[in-house]
Amino acid sequence: MLDVNRTMPDCVFVEDTAIVLEELAIMMSPGAESRRAEPAGIEPALRQFREVKRIARPATIDGGDVVVAGKTIYIGESSRTNAAGIQAMCDLLAPFGYTIVGVPVRGCLHLKSACSALPNGQFLVNRDWIDVSVLPENQLVDVPGHEEWSGDVLVIGNQIIVSDVFPATMDSLATLGFECVPVGLSEFAKAEGGVTCLSLVFQA
């Protein structure tokens, strides 16, 4: 738990500040003006574990728009992430063999609100909120129609952390062989906060 950024209203959504890969960490360039000071507070902690690179304005990109699936990284084209932000990720990650794919976002703030990469190569998606044509069609798992906000799940190993208000989604994931861990997020959900928003998860 870090003490930095406590005076900033959205600091709890720490995922938006950085993306941490095996090779490096990349500090994001938040799309909301009120959040632009947050990455600098997080960077010293990440430098203990990774080489750090930065994306700077006029490029904007939030970590909530970045879905990592092996060596392919899907980036939401959203109100918080612009074309320059996506290109900056391409430039930084090209030496490491990553492929970057833009995903139009139309119904939610961030890509991860409607798309999560599962450990078996599939994607949990709300296809009403994003353009799924750039995702592998035969690998899509649709969220239940009455649980439209359940596309954001946090994968740790073979366990999947899911908001406890989405039992049908947990049942669907269980049929795929995953162990689901329910957590309460009712207050964070009021600000479109999902389970991925509240942490940066990586192996040291």
Q: How far apart are CA 97 and CA 40, in angstroms?
A: 27
Token couple for 11: 């600091």
Paired tokens of 117: 């990469």
DSSP SS3 for 162? strand
Please give the order of strands across the beta sheet that includes 159-163: 154-156, 159-163, 179-183
Of 11, 108, 115, 197, the active-site residue reads 197
Any catalytic annotation for residue 110? Answer: yes
Q: H or E segment at 46?
A: helix 38-46
Structure tokens at 64: 């909530």
Cα 192 to Cα 108: distance, rounded to the nearest angstrom: 9
**Pick the catalytic residue: 11, 108, 110, 115?**
110
**197 is a catalytic site residue:** yes
Which tokens is 9 given? Answer: 């209203």
Q: Which residues are tagged catalytic?
A: 110, 197
